[in-house]
């Protein structure tokens, strides 16, 4: 979307966002982005952080081009026609207070108690020409750094391309972490909320082991980071956000203490996002979200979080006997037209569709097979028109019984067999 201008493709790897964090002034940070030797950032398009496209409040301020202020217009900063050798700007941080924070806002955050920063890539990094892919970020003036993948040093991390999920970075003197390995990958918790992390880990570990097994994920040494952010229940805003390697999840608190009853929702969210991380194949929205939600729901059940917790989570979904409000392909068409208002149906009705298919396969095989056996095939098939292709339809008809599956396909997906 941004023309590369004078920056050649080889230059991309040399682009490094240098972020200087200062414990003496923790609510702002300086960012510097220099063009490779002999090249300039040209005014081919306005410069903006990509969070602007997804409703994230931009916390980048005061952009300068070679030391001179750049005007900010509605569509972003307009660089001078002669271009810039070096871009510098500041980023602002919200301070984590007693009410906590809504994780879905994807904001920069400073925790004055544990003294660490959360840097949100979509809110902070201005995407100058040449940073579309392969750029890096380097942190100065801090201790431990997490987020993205390390490149060359622990303080130098990858920046996602424009077509990848957003990223979050964590830096500070000593991050409050808890580490374990599950599903063939390291998991790092950043413990911001006060909570029973041993109990959270037990459920997460069992769920992740199961997901990695059904997805047939290859083991990796790159950690998945889960940041448990507190939010007071009075704020009525528990949410989450998922990045390429990091997940922000809210823990509902009352006067700073975690509410165990609300935890299963956060754990469902984490398992949903981990399904995406384990199965990063490009799938149509409706298929991607419905499978992620169904498998998070199934993984949570297998992880045995307790009857009360399961009951609470299951109330999120309509009963299987309720007819779908819209077919999944109808929701997909709305999304293709830029209307995301029915997106939530991909989670609720979408996961109900797969639950019904799973039950049909169990019934047809007298309990010997399940949707798990078909999942690797589903994840590697091609979906040229966004619908289930004949090979997938045939496979699921064979597993679930032809007439049972055809009925579900028409009713929930809105596709004729
Ligand atoms: Zn999702």
What single string gives the DSSP state of each residue in 234-299?
GG----EEE-SSEEEEEEEEETTEE-GGGHHHHHHHHHHHHHHHH------HHHHHHHHHHHHHHH
**Mean pLDDT taken over the chain:** 91
Q: What is the pLDDT of residue 245?
A: 86
Distance between Cα 18 and ligand 1 center (Å): 31
Q: Rounded CA gap, 226 and 216, in Å?
A: 22
Per-residue pLDDT averaged across 160-189, rounded?
Answer: 91
Distance between Cα 131 and ligand 1 center (Å): 25
DSSP H helical ranges for 21-148: 121-124
C-alpha 345 chain-centroid distance: 19
Q: What is the pLDDT of residue 2?
A: 36
Distance between Cα 107 and ligand 1 center (Å): 19
Q: How confident is the model at residue 152 (pLDDT cuts 50, 70, 90)?
A: confident
Q: Do the bridges between strand 16-21 and strand 136-140 make them parallel or antiparallel, or are there none, so unpaired?
A: parallel
CB-based contacts of 315, cutoff 8 Å, min separation 6: none
Let me know the angle formed at the C-alpha of 299 by 296 and 300, rounded to the nearest 5 degrees: 85
Q: Looking at mean pLDDT, say which of 11-20, 306-315, 364-373 comes out highest.
A: 364-373
Q: What is the pLDDT of residue 55?
A: 85
Q: What is the pLDDT of residue 79?
A: 95
- Residue 30 confidence (pLDDT) above 70: yes
- Residue 142 confidence (pLDDT) above 70: yes
Distance between Cα 404 and ligand 1 center (Å): 27
Q: What is the pLDDT of residue 8?
A: 45
Domains of the chain: 9-172 (2.60.40), 177-280 (1.10.390.10), 300-413 (no CATH)
Q: What is the pLDDT of residue 28?
A: 97
Distance between Cα 285 and ligand 1 center (Å): 9
Reported as a single tens digit per residue, the pLDDT across 402-412 is: 999 999 999 99
Q: How confident is the model at residue 143 (pLDDT cuts 50, 70, 90)?
A: confident
Distance between Cα 267 and ligand 1 center (Å): 14
Distance between Cα 269 and ligand 1 center (Å): 9
Distance between Cα 346 and ligand 1 center (Å): 9
Q: What is the pLDDT of residue 406?
A: 97
Distance between Cα 277 and ligand 1 center (Å): 10
Q: What is the pLDDT of residue 20?
A: 96
Q: Rounded CA gap, 119 and 197, in Å?
A: 23
Backbone angles phi, psi at 194, to 5 degrees: -85, 120
- Residue 14 confidence (pLDDT) above 90: no
- Residue 9 confidence (pLDDT) above 50: no
> What is the percent of the chain where pLDDT is above 90?
71
Q: Rounded CA gap, 190 and 29, in Å?
A: 21
Beta carbons within 10 angstroms of residue 349's beta carbon: 24
Q: What is the pLDDT of residue 10?
A: 44
Q: How confident is the model at residue 3 (pLDDT cuts 50, 70, 90)?
A: very low
pTM above 0.85, yes or no: yes
Reported as a single tens digit per residue, the pLDDT across 78-112 is: 999 999 999 999 999 999 999 999 988 899 999 99
Beta carbons within 10 angstroms of residue 342's beta carbon: 17
As a three-state string, the secondary structure of 14-50 is HCEEEEEECCCCCCEEEEEEECCCCCCECCCCCECEH
- Residue 119 confidence (pLDDT) above 60: yes
Q: What is the pLDDT of residue 12?
A: 45
Q: What is the pLDDT of residue 399?
A: 97
- Residue 283 confidence (pLDDT) above 60: yes
Q: What is the pLDDT of residue 189?
A: 96
| Residue whose token pair is 């032809």 | 402
Q: What is the pLDDT of residue 381?
A: 94
Q: Rounded CA gap, 131 and 14, in Å?
A: 10
- Residue 7 confidence (pLDDT) above 80: no
Beta carbons within 10 angstroms of residue 179's beta carbon: 10
């Amino acid at each position: 979307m941004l023309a590369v201008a004078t920056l050649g493709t080889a230059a991309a790897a040399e682009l490094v966002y240098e972020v200087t964090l200062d414990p003496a002034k923790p609510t702002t940070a300086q960012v510097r982005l220099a063009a490779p030797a002999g090249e300039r950032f040209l005014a081919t398009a306005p410069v903006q952080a990509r969070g602007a496209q997804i409703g994230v409040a931009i916390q980048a301020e005061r952009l300068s081009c070679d030391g001179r202020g750049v005007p900010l217009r509605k569509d972003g900063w307009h660089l001078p026609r002669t271009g810039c050798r070096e871009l510098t700007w500041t980023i602002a941080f919200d301070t984590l207070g007693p009410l906590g924070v809504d994780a879905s806002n994807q904001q920069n955050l400073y925790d004055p108690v544990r003294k660490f920063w959360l840097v949100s890539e979509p809110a902070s990094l201005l995407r100058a020409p040449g940073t579309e892919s392969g750029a890096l970020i380097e942190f100065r003036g801090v201790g431990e750094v997490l987020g993205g993948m390390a490149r060359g040093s622990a303080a130098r991390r990858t920046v996602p391309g424009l077509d990848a999920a957003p990223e979050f970075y964590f830096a500070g003197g000593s991050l409050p972490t808890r580490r374990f390995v599950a599903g063939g990958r390291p998991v790092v918790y950043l413990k911001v909320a006060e909570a029973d992390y041993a109990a959270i880990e037990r459920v997460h570990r069992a769920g992740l082991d199961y997901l990695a097994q059904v997805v047939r994920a290859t083991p990796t040494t790159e950690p998945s980071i889960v940041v448990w952010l507190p939010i007071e229940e009075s704020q009525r805003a528990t949410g989450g956000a998922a990045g390429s390697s990091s997940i922000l999840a809210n823990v509902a608190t009352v006067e700073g203490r975690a509410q165990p009853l609300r935890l299963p929702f956060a754990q469902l969210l984490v398992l949903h996002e981990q399904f995406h991380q384990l199965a990063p194949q490009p799938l149509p929205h409706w298929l991607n979200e419905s499978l992620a939600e169904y498998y998070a729901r199934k993984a949570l059940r297998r992880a045995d979080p307790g009857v009360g917790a399961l009951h609470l989570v299951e109330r999120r979904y309509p009963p299987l006997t309720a007819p779908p409000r819209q077919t999944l392909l109808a929701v997909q068409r709305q999304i293709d037209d830029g209307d995301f208002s029915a997106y939530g149906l991909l989670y609720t009705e979408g996961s109900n569709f797969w639950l019904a298919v799973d039950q049909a396969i169990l019934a047809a095989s007298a309990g010997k097979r399940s949707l798990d056996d078909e999942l690797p095939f589903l994840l590697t098939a091609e979906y040229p028109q966004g619908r289930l292709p004949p090979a997938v339809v045939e496979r699921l008809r064979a597993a679930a019984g032809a007439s049972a599956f055809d009925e579900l396909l028409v009713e929930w997906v809105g596709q004729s067999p």
